[in-house]
Structure 1
Amino acid sequence: MHRQPQVQINLQALQHNYLQLKKLAPNSKLLALLKADAYGHGMLEVASALPDVDAFGVARLDEALALRTGGIVKPIVLLEGFFHADELEQVVASNLQIVIHHIDQAEALLAANLSTPVPVWLKLDTGMHRLGILPSDYVDVYERLIASDNVQGPMRLMTHFANSDDLTSDATATQIALFQSITVDLVAEHSLANSAAVLSRPDTHADWVRPGLLLYGVSPLQGHTGRDHNLLPVMSLVSSVIAVRDVAAGDAVGYSGSWTSPKATRVAVVAMGYGDGYPRAAGNKAEVLINNQRFAVVGRVSMDMITVDIGAAAVQVGDEVLFWGPNLPVELLAEKIGTIPYELLCNISSRRRIKFNYANQTE
Structure 2
Amino acid sequence: MASATHEVAQVLERNKEVLADYCANSWQLRTLHAVRKCRTAALGGHIDCCNNPSCRRLHLSYNSCRNRHCPKCQGHKKETWIRAREEELLKVPYFHVVFTLPCELNRICLYEPKLVYNLLFKTAWQVIKGFSANPKFLGANSGMIAILHTWGQNLSLHPHLHCIVPGGGIAKSGKWKLAKSKGKYLFPVKAMSKVFRAQFVAELRKELGTQQATAFYENLFKNEWVVFCKRPFLCPSQVVEYLGRYTHKIAISNHRIKEAQDNTVTFSVKDYRHGGKKSILKLTDVEFIRRFSLHILPKGFVRIRHYGILSSYHKRISIPELQESLGKIDLPERPPLQHNVCPYCKKGKLEIIVLFGVRGPPEGWKNKLEKQK
Q: TM-score, with normalisation over the residues of structure 1?
A: 0.21
**Higher helix residue share:** 2
With CA pairs under 8 Å and 6+ residues apart, which has the higher RCO, 1 or 2?
2
Q: TM-score, with normalisation over the residues of structure 2?
A: 0.20
